[in-house]
Amino acid sequence: MKKILLMASTFFMLLFMSSCNNTTKQSENIIRIASSYGMSYSPLEVMLKMNLIEKIAPDIKIEMVTLTGSAAINEAVIAGDIDVAGIGVTTFLIGHDKGVPYKIVRALADIELAMQTNDPTIKSLNDIRPEHRIAVNSIVSTHNILLTIVAERDFNDASKFEDQVIVMNHPDATMALMSGVGLDLHFTSQPYIFMQNKNNFPTILSERDVMGDDGFTSVVVAATNSFLENRPELFNVFMQALNEAIILINNRDPEAISIIAASENISEEEVIALLDSNKVSYDAEILNMLRYSEYMYKLGYISNVIESMDELLFKE
């Protein structure tokens, strides 16, 4: 684990240092947005497909890219390729610790995180054998850090599952788990948990098993310092459109629900059921992020104690 952390730390820092000599790639009328897979990012998809930014400011163009895992989003921020992103809380905390130039502007999703298996012999973490393979979407993802936290707690060995982890995006990992080839467990989020449970793959570990029953923000919206400081008008338009997208989802707007269903390859009824179950929530309040930071500091993922959310948040 320490080797991986050192490599990750060096990688982030080298990228950051190299980017300091580059002019940030900006255009006055373009907002570049990074997203990823799953319902955590549905508000960004709804905002894009319903042209909510263009309805506010017709002259603004949107470029949105879907990246595999939050680590790739951090790399894009460092390279100056995006202005704003949905990003997992643990990856944001690691990026912040390494000096990635961004701030949180709101929560994006409090979403269920859980690990399923296609092996009926696995009833708990105690049944996971060295030959079993576990998919996560990034080494620095919330999923993998949860696995590290529980390994330290239950086995006194944070690196217990390190050699068994495979990095795959959630759609590919879901397909691999269903095929039964090359993968035994998948630590993921909605709607992939729903899809896997629907195929009779049981949950053997959830975020709440590790962190408790309180709500936890899984994904936040982060904007680059350059975007916040140099283009506040575009940032305000983005926030207005994103908030509108979330209102539409929360009000079960038929077009918004249809967009999510098509994007996630589930039915509209299933989208509504997941929203109604509170397994997916898009409230703006950031919940219990410092709890993650405490664990991450103890395990060596970040080098500095975060005393207050104020150091992470954008203040107008």
Mean pLDDT, all residues of the chain: 90
pLDDT in tens, 146-158: 999 999 999 999 9
Residue-level pLDDT at 278: 83
Q: How far is CA 260 from CA 33, 43, 45, 191, 246, in A?
A: 18, 9, 7, 10, 12
Q: Binning pLDDT at 50, 70 and 90, where does residue 23 land?
A: very low
pLDDT for residue 72: 80
- Residue percentage of the chain with pLDDT more than 90: 78
3-class SS string, 18-67: HHCCCCCCCCCCEEEEEECCCHHHHHHHHHHHCCHHHHHCCCCEEEEEEC
Kindly state the average pLDDT of the residues 2-14. 45
pLDDT at 52 over 60: yes
How far apart are the C-alpha atoms of 302 and 5, rounded to whole Å? 9
Q: What is the pLDDT of residue 104?
A: 97
Q: Is the peptide bond before 191 cis (omega within 30 degrees of 0)?
A: yes
Q: Write down the pLDDT at residue 215.
A: 83
| Share of the chain residues as helix, strand and coil, in percent rounded to the nearest 5 | 50, 20, 35
Does residue 11 carry a pLDDT above 50?
Answer: no
Q: Give the tokens for residue 244.
A: 């509108």
- Residue 85's SS3 state is strand
Task: Determine the average pLDDT of the residues in 211-222.
Answer: 90
Quick: pLDDT tens for 156-193.
Answer: 999 999 999 999 999 999 999 999 989 999 999 999 99
pLDDT of residue 70: 65
pLDDT at 28: 74
pLDDT for residue 25:
53
Phi-psi region of 200 (alpha: psi -120 to 50; beta: other; left: phi over 0): left
Q: pLDDT tens, 267-309?
A: 999 999 999 998 999 999 999 999 999 999 999 999 998 989 9
Is pLDDT above 60 for 2? Answer: no
Residue 20: its pLDDT value, please?
44
Range name among 25-39, 99-113, 292-306 with the lowest pLDDT average: 25-39
Task: State the maximum Cα–Cα separation within the chain, in Å, rounded to a whole number.
Answer: 57
At 212 the pLDDT is 86
Task: Name the amino acid, one letter, at 287.
Answer: L
Percent of the chain with pLDDT over 70: 91
Domains of the chain, earliest start first:
2-18+25-110+217-311 (3.40.190.10), 113-211 (3.40.190.10)
At residue 240, does pLDDT exceed 70? Answer: yes
Helix ranges (H only) for 128-169 are: 142-155
pLDDT-based confidence at residue 223 (cuts at 50, 70, 90): very high
pLDDT at 18 over 70: no
pLDDT on residue 167: 94
Q: Give pLDDT, residue 69.
A: 65
Residue 214, judged by CB atoms within 10 A of its CB (0-12, 13-18, 19+), counts as exposed
Tell me the pLDDT band of 10, cut-offs 50, 70 and 90.
very low
The average pLDDT across 37-44 equals: 95
Q: What is the pLDDT of residues 82-100, one digit of tens each?
A: 999 999 999 999 999 999 9
